[in-house]
Amino acid sequence: MIETWPCPGGDGQTDEFAVVIDRARPFRLLIVPPLLDEMNRTRRLAVGTMRALDAHGIDSFLPDLPGTNESLQPFVSQSLHGWRTAMAQAARHFAATHVLALRGGALVFPNVLPGWVVEPVMGASLLRQLLRARVIAAREAGRHEDSAALLEIGRTEGIELAGYDFGPALIAGLDSARPLDEGQREIRAGELGGAALWLRAEPGDDPAQAARLAAIIAAGIAA
Amino acid sequence: MMSDNSDAGLRSVLGDVLGLNPARLAALTPQSPLLGALPELDSMAIATLFAAIEDHFGLMFDDAELTGETLTSYGSLLVLVRGKRRP
């Protein structure tokens, strides 16, 4: 089900949304989603994992990053720092005992919690793909653009990439951000037994991967 | 030409990014058109595809190499990958 949670926002406190399976059980997993397009591509994997975790007796919480998905905050005012603060707040609000960060979620997750990171990615890698998508689109439209020049514009003025209105803070943050995992167990795509869904051009689904991911988490929590 | 693993690796990456099933992957020939034939291949998907190819083979492309001509056919993409792997 969908619940709201209080989150620090531009004008003080604001409500954000989260998918929640909460039966007041002792193990409570916060899921920090991937960033940007990869969030959409992995949405069904994340929700499928939550359902499978429910069957393992584990509660789980999938909050929106402010400015994305159902959030009412403007994307342009987001930063990695803001997302870190928001995810830490979500962990407190839902009383999470463990955390699962997917891909770019590893750049902003509350790493004080024990848990798992799935294929953590450097911020610069995500940014490079977005810049390239824009360069490729411009070339198809007969214009010349250059990744390095676009990055410089993005860092000073902000820039639109793949339909997202990036402020300079988020560009600068992504350009230098590294995964924050500290003792969490890293899960590689191959362990889930299927193609990496965050690469998929059209959002896909793979219930077997969700079941596998949930089983890894359930085994780790029980250990 | 057929002694390296570029062909198998590239088919696998295309399968991951485009969600092609094994039958469609196996049916790819050097003449198979990519850009235009695959509606999934918008600019973001193309950028993702090149990043996945880079990761898979440990390569790095320049912006200038990522042209529509490269993606005209499966064969043209394979030529780029093979050329990058054996400079």
pLDDT-wise least confident of A131-140, A195-204, B33-42:
B33-42
DSSP at B30: T
Question: A102 pLDDT exceeds 50?
Answer: yes
Question: Hey, what amino acid is at A188?
Answer: R
Query: At A14, phi and psi to the nearest 5?
Result: -140, 160
What's the rounded Cα separation, in Å, for the pair B23 and B27? 6
Please report the pLDDT score of residue B3 as a whole number: 55
A147 in contact with chain B, both atoms CB, cutoff 8 A: yes
Prediction pTM value? 0.92
pLDDT-wise least confident of A120-129, A139-148, A181-190:
A139-148
Question: A204 pLDDT exceeds 90?
Answer: no
B20 in contact with chain A, both atoms CB, cutoff 8 A: no
Residues of B in contact with A146 (CB under 8 A): 63
SS3 track for chain A: CEEEEEEEECCEEEEEEEEEECCCCCCEEEEECCCCHHHHHCHHHHHHHHHHHHHCCCEEEEECCCCCCCCCCCHHHCCHHHHHHHHHHHHHHCCCCEEEEEHHHHHCCCCCCCEEEECCCCHHHHHHHHHHHHHHHHHHCCCCCCHHHHHHHHHHHCEEECCEEECHHHHHHHHHCCCCCCCCEEECHHHHCCCCHHHCCCCCCCHHHHHHHHHHHHHHHHC
A196 in contact with chain B, both atoms CB, cutoff 8 A: yes
Question: Hey, what amino acid is at A159?
Answer: I
Please report the pLDDT score of residue B1 as a whole number: 47
Of the candidates A134, A135, A202, the beta carbon closest to that of B40 is on A202
Closest approach of A202 to chain B, Cα-based (Å): 7
Please report the pLDDT score of residue B4 as a whole number: 82
Report the share of chain A in percent with pLDDT over 70: 99
Mean of all residue pLDDT scores within chain A = 95
Which residue in chain A has the smallest CA separation from B16? A195
Question: A61 pLDDT exceeds 60?
Answer: yes
User: pLDDT for A205-223, tens place per residue?
Assistant: 899 999 999 999 999 998 7
Would you place residue B39 in the very low, low, confident or very high pLDDT band (cuts 50, 70, 90)?
A: confident
- Highest mean pLDDT among A101-115, A182-196, B31-45, B59-73 belongs to A101-115
Q: How long is chain B?
A: 87
